[in-house]
Structure 1
């Protein structure tokens, strides 16, 4: 039984700033500049980013909101997770229309819980069952029957789960705080 409705995240499907591929993450306790520095390799420019992408950051309470339009790295790339996540906590939601969407909860650079929102029963990480109760409450049933009906609104439900962990509700207003963004230099 779902006790929280993801209606408040329906705006994401019409958001022009975010396209068919994006990653939104919340990083606890770092400065926005430090998050961007950790995305870089050995202090060089953000070589890991596609030149058409940019990364936006904004401080919101104890968290740094990180938006990767056209990106997916903080949710899926173990090297980026290790660098950005060292000594902190990250909650990340990635939408990717041409590959897999991902929800990731990362502590000290290690994925604790990671899964595809349409397959919440197939979790990985150091403690894949840590968020089971929260997952149930937002409709990402950890016992989902893959042969049953598809999970409705998996990205919206992933943002509802992120909200339960961070205490922040991702909104269009938050997205506007992230830009102008740091853009990686041209190669």
Structure 2
């Protein structure tokens, strides 16, 4: 069955009121949650096992001191879940983290109109969508097009792997299903509410620079 943006309509503020408007999901192939935590510089012994609700509450405390995260294994991938966090779109983290593997992340912050999607393969950006403060980078006729002229100069080829998925996305806002479709296309993982709600996360925090 071919997925469409409507298949992800369940991810809404009605069902996930403290996550849907400010989240970052990051997939890394070939790592375990423990390996990812260690790579982030956090001791596994300092982490705790939490439900999604507990992770969200943990993320809201100490917000200015650390970036909280929860990690779970999904097949051959590790999924990093952040409530109001941005480790998965921090280039200084995700570029080296993708070495020798594939990394896919998408980030959304409703209050600032920020919507980012990254596909990085072994330290090389294969595709990214960036929307912030009223301007966008997007794909059209195989080239990255810009919505406003002040952003001139950025262009990129659209990977063949995403062509069919991009066509199915239509004109829907990327965070309202399409980013989930892109992630599913690149990872083979279908995100479900049960995956988010019923998993037990390995949770910790990366200290923020003072």
Shorter chain as denominator, the TM-score bin is: 0.7 to 0.9
2:206 and 2:30 map into 1 onto residues whose CA distance is: 27
- Structure 1 unpaired stretches of 5+: 141-150
Mapping 1:51-70, distance limit 5 Å = 51=65, 53-70=67-84
How big is the shift at 1:159? 0.5
Equivalent residue in structure 1 for 2:105, among 54, 78, 92? 92
The aligned residue for residue 11 of structure 2 is 12
Matched, 1:77 2:90: yes
2:108 and 2:96 map into 1 onto residues whose CA distance is: 21
1:60 and 1:5 map into 2 onto residues whose CA distance is: 21
Number of residue pairs the alignment of both structures matches:
170
Q: For the pair shown, which has the larger CA radius of gyration, 1 or 2?
A: 2
Mapping 1:1-187, distance limit 5 Å = 4-14=3-13, 15-40=16-41, 50-51=64-65, 53-74=67-88, 76-97=89-110, 98-116=112-130, 119-121=137-139, 122=144, 128-130=157-159, 131-139=161-169, 151-155=171-175, 156-184=177-205
Moved more, 177-186 or 153-162: 177-186
Question: TM-score normalized by structure 2?
Answer: 0.67
SS across alignment from 2:127 = strand
- Structure 2 unpaired stretches of 5+: 48-62, 146-153
Question: TM-score normalized by structure 1?
Answer: 0.74
